[in-house]
Structures are given as structure tokens and as C-alpha cells.
Amino acid sequence: MATLGDLERTVMDLLWATPEAMNANALRDAIAEAPSGQVGRELAVTTVLTVLSRLEKKGLVERERDSRPHRYRSVTSREDHTAELMHEVLVTAPDREAVLARFIGSVTEAEAETLRKLLGGS
């Protein structure tokens, strides 16, 4: 049994791979055809809709208001989401420092220059 997290991931992968908006039926069919075996093939449309509404609440997908049945599309591309997430990691404000531990904190340009010299000289 796939978890909701797995389903969210599968749905987002499909929406990111598809330029046009899809409705829940089309998504269910696409999941059934998908080669990945981690998600059960026979999903109810209501399950897909549950996943979509969770994703919508998280601000990852948006619904086209004037279409029936509703069609969904991703808000931004996978690359943009990754860039945003990495931005959060790289630009650590003091009040976020406790959330995660980075291998290297931010360094200044001068520091980076010193590090490059160190690499060149070693």
C-alpha cells in the first residue's frame, strides 16, 4: 500500500512532466500506466482527488476554476521548487539555523577566494 506521500510524489511527477492541466480521471489513468511499481495501479478517483486537494493546500498545484471536471496543473516547475528549497538552505537566517545543519555555512567572497587559493596550492 502506497503512502499518501508516495502518491503525492507520483502525482507531482506526472504534473511536472505534463505541460497542460490534467483532471483526476486522466491522472488516475496515467498512474495506472506508469511503470513505477511503488504505487498501486488501481486507484479510486476519490483517492486521486484527496491527494490533489492536499497538494493544493500545500500550494503545489492549482485548479482551473472554469473546467468540469476540474483540471489541475503544477504551480511552478520542479526546478523552481528545488531552487526555492535550496535557497532556504543556503540563505540561513539566524532564526532558521536550528532547523538543519549545513556542512558549510555561508562564506564571504573573500573567504571563498582564500579557500580557492588553498585548493590551488595544495
Partner 1 sequence: MFWASYLLAALAIILAWPAPIALSRAAWPARAPFTAMVLWQSIALAGGLSMIGAMLVWGLEPLGDNLVSASVGFFRILVDEDSAATLGVIHVFAISAATLLFGHLLFTLALTFVRIRRQRRRHRDMLNLLSSPAADQPATLVISHPAPVAYCLPGGARSVTVMSDGLMDLLTRAELDAVLTHENAHLHQRHHLLLWAFAAWRAALPWLPTSRLAQRAVSELIEMLADDEALRHVDEPTLVRAIAIVGSGALPPSRDELDDPLADPLAEPSADHHADRHAVQGRGGTPGAADVTGGTGDAQSTAHRLRRLLTPLPPLSRVQQGLALSTAGMLLVVPPVLLVAPELLG
Residues that bind partner 1 (CB under 8 A): 5, 8-9, 12, 58-60, 75-76, 78, 80-109, 111-116, 118-119, 122
Residue among 42 and 59 whose Cβ is closer to partner 1: 59
Nearer to partner 1 (CB atom), residue 66 or residue 110: 110
Nearer to partner 1, 20 or 122 (CB): 122
56: amino acid identity, one letter:
E
Taking the complex as a whole, the smallest distance from the CB of residue 98 to partner 1 amounts, in Å, to 4
Rounded Cα distance between 54 and 17, Å, is: 19
Task: Quote the CA–CA distance of 65 and 44 in Å, as a whole number.
Answer: 22
For residue 3, the minimal CB distance to partner 1 (Å) is 10
Of 32 and 115, CB closest to partner 1: 115
Please, what's the b/e burial string for 37-68 (b: 16 or more CB within 10 A of its CB; e: otherwise)? eebeeebeeebbbebbebbeeeebbeeeeeee
**Which phi and psi angles does 71 have, rounded to 5°?**
-110, 145
Min separation Cβ 115 and partner 1, Å: 4
